[in-house]
Structure 1
């Protein structure tokens, strides 16, 4: 089941996420110490400044030039410089390891990769750790129809039906508010 993504509150930014798997992956990369909807709007900011959003063009752009483009206000992230370097490295990684095909991360291979294999591939990406990889795999499974065998078990609680714990569960303003409330409560409980 392919669900229309509504992650940013900006129809143009959401359209890019729907149309371009690399944009969605970059949004997930930026979803760190920054409001979710702003992180996922980052690819649109890059697209506006580069006359389009193309993985190959990003990878081929001089790193200093790309960083400058990303830190220009409004920056793509609170930590625009370091995140720009990660986006650039991510584009280069996908070219080197997947021939520029972002979906190859979760689709390539015979037999097709299962949930644990996709998780390992995601964790190998620049800027992705265990938690970010699990959340992105849950997002693919819940909203993009990418459901490799064992994906729910592999993502742990992020794959739970009806949960409201991450961007994987955001489908509108209401669910965004529910995810925010969950995160706030979890943070408060951690400070305990």
Structure 2
């Protein structure tokens, strides 16, 4: 039974935690297993990008719920404010239980570096990386210029954007029948 209005994408050779999340979405209507986190990720493009950044050496569901934990601790997910705060403060907030990410210091530093880059080039708004309708290779090239985004994350990017409702890449990736 498909509970979601979002068409299922063919994951091709993509594997791992996000593929598991895609399957859960079509069976249970939630990607992360936390409807509140899913709603926040659909609402906030910065959260989606940070969730993808955090999808490294932790369960994908934990990675993608990291941005809501960070927002709850900060009271915001304003990248200009994150870029301006002392790194030590951000690291301390990342380490509070439950941690935002397993690698608190590294991911706090990467979060701040991404915030700096987005503030410098995209007015602090991750949506500006893809909202102009640029083709997938251009969107991936833009994201690749950010700290912490390598080939594996770039392969997941169109699926993440599609499933969280930020950009429809179904024509590029192929929709599954049934």
Instruction: Tell me the TM-score range normalised by the shorter chain.
Output: 0.7 to 0.9
- The match for 1:44 among 58, 64, 68 is 68
1:123 offset after TM fit, Å? 1.1
Q: Which has the higher contact order (CA 8 A, sep 6+)?
A: 2
Aligned match of 2:175: 161
Q: Structure 1 residues 151, 162: closer, same or farther in 2, change over 3 A?
A: closer
The correspondence of residues 27-176 of structure 1 with structure 2, limited to 5 A, is 27-108=51-132, 112-144=133-165, 146-147=167-168, 152=172, 159-162=173-176
Point out where structure 2 has 5 or more consecutive residues left out of the alignment. Answer: 7-24
Q: Structure 1 residues 55, 151: closer, same or farther in 2, change over 3 A?
A: farther
Give the distance between the partners of 2:160 and 2:33, measured in 1 at CA.
17
Deviations 1:28-66 (A, max 9, x none): 110111001111110111111111222222122111111
TM-score between both structures, scaled by the size of structure 2: 0.76
1:145 offset after TM fit, Å? 5.6
Give the CA RMSD over aligned residues.
Answer: 2.5
Give the distance between the partners of 1:62 and 1:151, measured in 2 at CA.
43
Runs of 4+ aligned structure 1 residues displaced above 4 Å come to 2-5
Contact 2:79 / 2:124 at 8 angstroms: preserved in 1?
yes
Contact 2:38 / 2:164 at 8 angstroms: preserved in 1?
no
Point out where structure 1 has 5 or more consecutive residues left out of the alignment. Answer: 153-158, 164-192
1:142 offset after TM fit, Å? 4.9
Give the distance between the partners of 1:7 and 1:134, measured in 2 at CA.
18
Deviations 1:143-185 (A, max 9, x none): 526246x973xxxxxx35349xxxxxxxxxxxxxxxxxxxxxx
Contact 1:137 / 1:151 at 8 angstroms: preserved in 2?
no
Q: Structure 1 residues 62, 143: closer, same or farther in 2, change over 3 A?
A: closer
